[in-house]
Structure 1
Amino acid sequence: MSPKPLIAAALACAAIGGAAAQDAQALYIRSLAATCANCHGTDGRAVQGSQVPALAGMPQVYIVEQMKAFKTGTRTATVMHQLAKGYSDEQIHQIAAYFAAQKK
């Protein structure tokens, strides 16, 4: 048997594995963002008239800055300073990128 079919099969499996890894990463990031839904609404779209800001479509840099300010305590809040401490800097960047990509 020629090695070409084996190589093609191996490449196909690698591509499927890569796609699955991307899907798993996207699901992970979406699940991180979902933790914000109770206050900020599904996909960062706050309920109309809410005192809590919508996150959908906000600039990523702004969200990162605010989350880090909550985390360090330089921005006061009712609960965000406690919640922000539970995220790593990488997770904060992932969440910010997710919300920045959402339509307002």
Structure 2
Amino acid sequence: MWSAFFASLVHAQTTAAALHQRATAAMCANCHGTDGRTVDGSAIPALVGMPKDYMLRQMQAFKDGSRPATVMHQIVKGLTDAQVQTIADYYAATKR
């Protein structure tokens, strides 16, 4: 009985963490497409499957102004380091 209770508790925590991660990453959808998949030929890069380290470097470059952008530098300045990490983790783990 206890093992079923703890198993359901672990599942609920895992599901909550996955939902939080997906909701945080969803803020990118307006420009980068649903689930990070942009339209073919778009000037905006797809995020899905992008390597985590690369994404973290690019987000930091937008944040510190070393990478020019139209709006990304403004968007990423409003994100915490934890949110940036969550977004990078989510898209790196999502299959193309």
Q: CA deviation at 1:78?
A: 0.9
TM-score by length of 2: 0.89
Structure 2: gaps (5+ residues): none
Q: Report how many residues are paired.
A: 96
Structure-1 residue corresponding to 2:87: 95
**1:54 aligned onto 2:41:** no
Distance 2:64 2:40 in 1: 30
Structure-1 residue corresponding to 2:9: 17
Structure 1: gaps (5+ residues): 1-7
Q: CA deviation at 1:30?
A: 0.4
Percent identity between matched residues is 54
* RMSD of aligned Cα (Å): 1.3
Partner of 1:36: helix, strand, or coil? helix
Q: CA deviation at 1:41?
A: 0.8
Q: Deviating runs (4+, > 3 A) in structure 1?
A: none
Partner of 2:43: helix, strand, or coil? coil
